[in-house]
Amino acid sequence: MELDLSPKLAKKVYGGDGDGDGDGGSYYAWCPTELPMLREGNIGAAKLALQKNGFALPRYSDSSKVAYVLQGAGVAGIILPESEEKVIAIKKGDAIALPFGVITWWYNKDDTELEVLFMGDTSKGHKAGQFTDFFLTGANSIFTGFTTDFVKRAWDVDDDTAKALIGNQQDKGIVKLDTNVKMPEPKPDHRKGMALNCEEAPLDTDIKNAGNVVLLNTKNLPLVGQVGLGADLVRLEGNAMCSPGFSCDSALQVTYIVKGSGRLQVVGVDGKRVLETMVKPGNLLIVPRFFVVSKIADPEGLSWFSIITTPNPVFTHLAGSIGAWKAISPEVLQAAFKVPVETEKLFRSKRTNDAIFFPPPPQ
Residue type, 295: K
Under DSSP, is residue 292 helix (H, G, I), strand (E, B) or coil? strand
Q: One-letter amino acid identity for 117?
A: L
Report the C-alpha gap between 139 and 145 in whole angstroms.
10
The H or E element spanning position 167 is helix 159-167
Nearest CA to 137 out of 184, 183, 103 is that of: 103
What's the one-letter identity of residue 309?
T
Per-position pLDDT tens, the chain of length 363 = 477 899 999 999 999 865 444 589 999 999 999 999 999 999 999 999 999 999 999 999 999 999 999 999 999 999 998 899 999 999 999 999 999 999 999 999 999 999 999 999 999 999 999 999 999 999 999 999 999 999 999 999 999 999 999 888 888 999 999 999 999 999 999 999 999 999 999 999 999 999 999 999 889 999 988 999 989 999 999 999 999 998 887 788 899 999 999 999 999 999 999 999 999 999 999 998 899 999 999 999 999 999 998 887 788 888 888 888 888 999 999 999 999 999 999 998 998 888 899 999 887
115, 245 contact by CB (below 8 A): no
* Whole-angstrom distance, CA of residue 346 vs CA of residue 96: 46
Query: SS3 for 5-18, per residue?
Result: CCCECCEEEEECCC
Is the whole model's pTM more than 0.85, yes or no? yes
Any idea what the Cα angle at residue 206 is, between residues 205 and 211, rounded to 5°?
105
Bridge-based pairing of strands 103-108 and 73-79 is antiparallel
Cα 291 from Cα 298, distance rounded (Å): 23
Q: What is the pLDDT of residue 20?
A: 46
pLDDT value of position 19: 46
Contact 228, 251 (CB under 8 A): no
Of 132, 56, 55, the C-alpha closest to 100 is 132
DSSP string, 100-139: TT-EEEEEE-SSSPEEEEEEEE-TTSSBTTB--EEESSST
